[in-house]
């Protein structure tokens, strides 16, 4: 087959652009929250798996934390178990928790592990219950009353928040060839199991591991200004102003708060990226342009690195 010189030059340019990032981030921990379209579209699933395996092969330490809301909802529907949501969070009774654990800790987790292994990686699936990885506490949601009687605490059932991360298991895998794939299920001191938001778990793990990056895959292009332009190279102060003036609002706020919390507690940068783009993770980490929004507490730059 004759050499396609243009294609060869393009490959060389790509590798040349990626080299400084590979050198810079070798040995660094990068926590990736996996969810949204990237988790359901076959092409995107395989490109995500190749991205993570590539990161490990060039010397980075990727840690994958995954969601599974649509899969949980689908199985609950098949089992005729009604779902109730309060402010976007699923109320989780004991019956629902059984399904959550089955889907997150079993079906979804093992599918991701198999996908990474098929693409040349060595993945191990764990939940927050394994090795007491995620110690949880019950989450009570505070909501202002409409009658002026003061805030009310809403009971969401077995929905939890992260109390403590035990890094022993993660450190062991970090220093090996294995890629941890974590289901966001925690356990309290009495052995009760809790469903925890995957973004929150990813952020907390990034903090305790002192990660270089926290990457949150989403179904949007990133943080946008009021004209719909994607913003990147943002400092935490700039993000605070965007929240104050209403540019960032609604469903984006929880992800933004997660990113800000991580960056304010030692993570070098947080990235909110478009998981609908093939190879989104590699494009964000290994190229100058990226495919989303970078938030940093240490520098103000337009470079997505």
Domain map (residue ranges) of the chain: 60-199
pTM, full prediction: 0.90
First to last CA, the chain: 37
**108 or 153, which is more confident:** 108
CATH tag, 60-199: 3.40.1160.10
* Confidence (pLDDT) at 149: 62
Cβ–Cβ under 8 Å, residues 214 and 202: yes
Structure tokens at 56: 């490990």
Long-range contacts of 235-240 (CB under 8 A, 24+ apart): 235/295, 235/296, 235/297, 235/299, 235/300, 236/260, 236/263, 236/264, 236/295, 236/296, 236/297, 238/300, 239/295
Q: What is the pLDDT of residues 157-207, one digit of tens each?
A: 999 999 999 999 888 888 889 999 999 999 999 999 999 999 999 999 999
The secondary structure of residue 3, as a DSSP letter, is -
> What is the reported pLDDT for 194?
96
pLDDT, residue 173, reads: 85
Q: What are phi and psi of 87, to 5 degrees?
A: 50, 45
Residue 146 pLDDT greater than 70, yes or no:
no
pLDDT at 85: 82
Arithmetic mean of pLDDT over the chain:
89
Question: What are the phi and psi torsion angles at 298 (to 5°)?
Answer: -115, -15
pLDDT at 302: 41
Find the mean pLDDT for residues 11-20: 80
Q: What percent of the chain has pLDDT over 70?
A: 93
Q: What is the pLDDT of residue 3?
A: 58
- pLDDT of 33 above 50: yes
């Amino acid at each position: 087959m004759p050499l396609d010189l243009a294609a060869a030059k393009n490959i060389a340019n790509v590798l040349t652009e990626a080299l400084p990032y590979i050198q810079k981030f070798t040995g660094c921990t990068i926590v990736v929250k996996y969810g949204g379209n990237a988790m359901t579209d076959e092409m995107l699933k395989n490109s995500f798996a190749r991205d993570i395996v590539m990161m490990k092969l060039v010397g980075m330490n990727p840690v994958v934390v995954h969601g599974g809301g649509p899969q949980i909802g689908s199985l609950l529907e098949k089992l005729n178990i009604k779902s109730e949501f309060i402010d976007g969070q699923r109320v989780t009774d004991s019956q629902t928790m059984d399904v959550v654990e089955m889907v997150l800790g079993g079906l979804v987790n093992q599918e991701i592990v198999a996908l990474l292994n098929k693409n040349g990686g060595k993945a191990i699936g764990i939940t927050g219950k394994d090795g007491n990885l995620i110690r949880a506490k019950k989450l009570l949601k505070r909501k202002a009353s409409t009658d002026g009687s003061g805030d009310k605490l809403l009971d969401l059932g077995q929905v939890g928040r992260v109390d403590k991360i035990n890094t022993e298991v993660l450190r062991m895998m970090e220093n090996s060839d294995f890629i941890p794939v974590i289901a966001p299920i925690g356990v309290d001191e009495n052995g009760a199991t809790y469903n925890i938001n995957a973004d929150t778990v990813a952020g907390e793990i990034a903090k305790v591991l002192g990660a270089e990056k926290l990457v949150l895959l989403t179904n949007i292009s990133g943080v946008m200004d009021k004209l719909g332009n994607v913003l990147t190279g943002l400092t935490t102060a700039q993000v605070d102003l965007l929240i104050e003036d209403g540019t960032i609002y609604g469903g984006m706020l929880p992800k933004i708060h997660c990113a800000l919390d991580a960056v304010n507690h030692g993570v070098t940068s947080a990235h909110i990226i478009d998981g609908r783009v093939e190879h989104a993770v590699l494009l964000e980490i290994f190229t100058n342009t990226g495919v989303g929004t970078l938030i940093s507490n240490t520098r103000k730059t337009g470079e997505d690195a």
